[in-house]
């Protein structure tokens, strides 16, 4: 009956009973005093002695009762203090293990050790940590860490690694758990939803403590007691709250560090597997890492030698533009940090033989953990420069082979190789081709009259006028032989060909080169044969040239200084 009454109330009740009893005794004595006869005084004294003795005995009993209550309270207080000290010691040891672990290793052993210490100090059967996720307005809990006592290993297992709040609608997720309220105490006194859910797991007492990271609900720290009913005191909850927050922060930090370490490993794997020299600069413009390709490129023994000597030994004092190498490199790295990307040519110095190495450098800003770094990729251009020089000489020789030595326009060899390629390409695409055969009118008479030197000059001026009349990149003019020229106009229809023919005749006349032996004019003129058509498969180049040549013959026959057109 008095089991759930507080100590203060028990003492108060005892004192009230004592006062009432004493009051009754005094009242009884007074009534007896007024009712006795004079001869009964001796009886009154005896009765008073008896009553006093009874009162004294009752007082002694009350004093014993109160003393027993106080002793019980003191024992309970000492027990609570011991349990609190035991819990504090366990929490301190758990905190120490979290502070001492290597943050670049998995935190699981430290967390499980802490859960075991806390669980053992509370005589709990299970302690576990659940990670909270909100997915489509549904609460999903992921069990990340669990410690079991030896006795708990024989009990019903916990739910799976993942549980969803919608699977347990009777639990007050939104009202209590998601708002950060601590739920603790005897399961038998909790609402029906908790009793049903926890009863299956044989849990008699539980504490559910929310865990926060950056003021956001991160998860829950649960303590299950299955062997007996036990209340969690306010002091115990106050002690458990900080360690739960510390564990959540440590788990989250370890996860981020492990992810960052994994990123670093992948990054270095990519750098080391790259055939290009690669190195990393931090925001203080220090070279903090490199790959083995860089070590090999500059002839260093290892990465340490590379990092200690690169800035001072691997560039000449000045770059080809006259700027100091160290100043220019600092400015370029800063630019990469600001803009995110930077590409430039650089001249390096190879420490072993002091030879110069032309290079192409690309700087890229990337995020590494919580900081930005710049990765520099260096491409050795020595072989490429040698190859480019060879190609340049080959192309120069080839270009010379394709140029007419007198007029500097394309020659017959270029025409023969190019027209075959153009015809095949247009045959595949079904495109149009226009071709012109051109001859300087009465050129033999010009040479006879003005001399071969003037004739050469005349050929050169006419070649320039023809070249200036065609402007598209695919169009070209070539010297066909002697005083003959050819104009090739891919993807040009009849109207375009006629317009260009008129322009060519006009531009040659504008040269105003005197020619008194010309039957068509007093100055140098030209005659043209023009043909246009859609190039068909298996159509030969000779067929198209013959049509243009025949049209040229007709232009000469009809008086020169004109063009004649025919489709093919």
Please give the structure tokens belonging to residue 83.
Answer: 């349990």
Q: Strand pairing partners for 563?
A: 528
How far apart are alpha carbons 241 and 239 in whole angstroms? 6
How far apart are alpha carbons 541 and 360 in whole angstroms? 46
Please give the structure tokens belonging to residue 35.
Answer: 């009712």
| Cβ proximity of 108 and 145 under 8 Å | yes
Q: Strand pairing partners for 485?
A: 438, 479
Tokens 């260093």 found at: 300
Neighbours of 317 (CB within 10 A): 8
How far apart are alpha carbons 298 and 417 in whole angstroms? 47
What are the distances in angstroms from CA 219 to CA 173, 404, 471? Answer: 12, 84, 74
Residue of 48, 262, 323, 483 marked catalytic:
483
Phi, psi of 164 (to 5 degrees): -120, 145
| Cβ proximity of 551 and 566 under 8 Å | yes
How far apart are alpha carbons 131 and 100 in whole angstroms? 23
How far apart are alpha carbons 337 and 365 in whole angstroms? 6
Please give the structure tokens belonging to residue 101.
Answer: 């672990």
Q: Is 344 helix (H, G, I), strand (E, B) or coil?
A: strand
| Cβ proximity of 137 and 170 under 8 Å | no
494 is catalytic: no
Of 349, 357, 354, 399, the closest CA to residue 380 belongs to 357
| Cβ proximity of 224 and 127 under 8 Å | yes
How far apart are alpha carbons 479 and 330 in whole angstroms? 56
Strands 277-281 and 371-380: antiparallel
**What b/e sequence results for 129-160 when a residue is b if at least 16 CB atoms lie within 10 Å of its CB, and e otherwise?**
bbbbeeeeeebbbebebbbbbeebeebeebee
Q: Which residues are catalytic?
A: 483
């Amino acid at each position: 009956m008095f089991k759930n009454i507080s100590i203060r109330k028990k003492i108060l009740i005892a004192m009230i009973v004592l006062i009432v009893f004493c009051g009754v005794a005094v009242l009884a004595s007074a009534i007896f005093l007024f009712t006795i006869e004079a001869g009964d005084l001796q009886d009154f004294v005896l009765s008073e002695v008896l009553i006093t003795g009874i009162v004294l005995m009752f007082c002694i009993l009350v004093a014993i009762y109160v003393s027993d209550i106080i002793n019980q309270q003191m024992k309970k207080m000492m027990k609570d203090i011991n349990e609190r000290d035991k819990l504090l010691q366990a929490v301190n040891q758990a905190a120490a293990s979290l502070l001492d672990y290597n943050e670049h290793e998995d935190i699981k052993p430290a967390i499980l050790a802490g859960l075991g210490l806390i669980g053992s100090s509370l005589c709990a059967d299970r302690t576990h940590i659940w990670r909270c996720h909100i997915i489509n307005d549904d609460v999903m809990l992921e069990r990340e860490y669990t410690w079991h006592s030896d006795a708990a290993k024989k009990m019903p297992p916990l739910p799976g690694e993942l549980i969803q709040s919608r699977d347990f609608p009777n639990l007050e997720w939104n009202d209590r758990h998601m708002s950060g309220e601590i739920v603790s105490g005897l399961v038998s006194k909790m609402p029906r939803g908790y009793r049903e859910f926890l009863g299956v797991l044989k849990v008699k007492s539980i504490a559910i403590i929310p865990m926060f990271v950056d003021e956001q609900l991160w998860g829950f720290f649960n303590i299950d007691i299955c062997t007996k009913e036990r209340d969690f005191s306010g002091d115990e909850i106050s002690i458990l709250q900080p360690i739960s927050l510390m564990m959540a922060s440590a788990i989250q930090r370890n996860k981020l560090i492990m992810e960052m370490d994994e990123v670093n490993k992948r990054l270095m794997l990519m750098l080391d597997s790259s055939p290009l020299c690669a190195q990393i600069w931090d925001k203080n413009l220090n070279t903090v890492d490199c790959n083995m390709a860089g070590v090999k490129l500059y002839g260093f023994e290892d990465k340490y030698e590379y990092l200690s000597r690169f800035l001072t030994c691997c560039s000449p004092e000045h770059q080809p533009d006259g700027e100091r190498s160290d100043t220019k490199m600092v400015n370029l790295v800063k630019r990469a940090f600001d803009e995110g990307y930077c590409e430039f040519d650089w001249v390096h110095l190879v420490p072993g033989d002091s030879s110069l190495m032309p290079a192409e450098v690309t700087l890229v800003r990337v995020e590494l953990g919580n900081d930005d770094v710049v990765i520099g990729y260096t491409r050795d251009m020595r072989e490429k420069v040698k190859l480019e020089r060879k190609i340049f000489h080959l192309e120069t020789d080839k270009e010379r082979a394709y140029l007419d030595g007198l007029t500097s326009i394309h020659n017959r060899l270029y025409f023969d190789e190019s027209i075959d390629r153009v015809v095949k390409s247009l045959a595949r695409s079904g495109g149009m081709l226009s071709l012109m055969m051109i001859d300087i009118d009465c050129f033999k008479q010009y040479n006879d009259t003005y001399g071969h030197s003037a004739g050469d000059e005349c050929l050169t001026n006419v070649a320039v006028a023809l070249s200036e009349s065609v402007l598209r990149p695919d169009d070209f003019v070539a010297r066909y032989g002697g005083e003959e020229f050819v104009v090739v106009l891919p993807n040009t229809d009849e109207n375009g060909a006629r317009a260009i023919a008129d322009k060519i005749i006009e531009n040659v006349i504008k040269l105003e080169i005197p020619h008194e032996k010309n039957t068509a004019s007093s100055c140098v003129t030209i005659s043209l044969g023009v043909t246009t058509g859609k190039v068909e498969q298996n159509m030969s180049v000779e067929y198209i040239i013959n049509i243009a040549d025949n049209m040229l013959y007709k232009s000469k026959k009809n008086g020169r200084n004109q063009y004649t057109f025919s489709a093919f």
